[in-house]
Chains A and B, each alone.
Chain A
Amino acid sequence: MGSIEANGKSYETDEEGYLADLNSWDKDVAEVMANIDDCELTDNHWEVINFLREYYEEYQIAPAVRVLTKAIGKKLGKDKGNSKYLYELFPYGPAKQACKYAGLPKPTGCV
């Protein structure tokens, strides 16, 4: 267990830095998590983060990377629905890293 400070608020995390409580998420903590990884969140990052939050809201799971890639392609176009684009945005792995910033648990089956 650990915690992250953002904008004067404290957020509880698990040992890998994922938020303990999905409902405590806000944009500030996403920014701080990204800063820790030396990553600056652009609109393109937010598109994926928001997509993941919507996906979780609907299906109650974080999608596997293959599923994420395909779904992004369908929603945002083929130029974004490919692993090259997603890995450029999230070099630590699109599902893992983007899910973390989105406040979701680590995707099922991810090690």
Chain B
Amino acid sequence: MPEESKKFMYINRKAPYGTIYAWESLEVVLIGAAFEQDVSLAFMDDGVYQLTKGQDTTGIGMKNFSPTYSALGDYEVTKIYVDKESLEERGLSLDDLQHLVWEDEDEDWAEKDSIRLVSRTEMADILAGQDILFNF
């Protein structure tokens, strides 16, 4: 990673379907990942639904893009922060989310977890430490 790299964070607050925000955010993340910046993602409020398992969009005629989150590891996006309280308020837990991993090339492709559950206070500190925030 170049020394002058900036810390980019993409904040996702909306449910996956119904608006285009979730998919647009994911596309921008994938494009931005090509520029080798320090990229991380945050999911809070209804945004936590974006990461849930077993999404089925057949009834709404939209593409189910949830499998694409599993590609983030390939794009070296390895820090996915999820707001713990947002999950709890919706009756969800880590088990309801997809198991997202990245493979560490330096450790013989060992699989490591990408999702980190954080409290609201921790999230505030993480946000404060970023150079650039994108809100979706």
Residues of A participating in the B interface, judged by any CB pair closer than 8 Å: 58-61, 63-64, 66-67, 70-71, 74, 108-109
Confirm or deny: B96 has a beta carbon within 8 angstroms of a beta carbon on chain A: no
For the complex, would chain B's binding face be called helix, strand, loop or mixed by DSSP majority?
A: helix
Instruction: Give 9 A-B contacts (CB < 8 Å), ordered by A residue.
Output: A58-B67, A59-B67, A59-B70, A61-B68, A64-B30, A64-B33, A64-B75, A70-B74, A74-B103
A59→B74 CA distance, assembly (Å): 11
Residues of B participating in the A interface, judged by any CB pair closer than 8 Å: 27, 30-31, 33-34, 63-65, 67-68, 70-71, 74-75, 103, 105, 109
Interfacial chain A residues near B75, Cβ < 8 Å: 64, 67
Q: How far is the CB of A16 from chain B (nearest CB, A)?
A: 18
Q: Which residue of B lies closest to A108 (CB)?
A: B30
**5 closest residue pairs by CB, A with B:** A109-B31, A59-B71, A67-B74, A60-B67, A60-B68
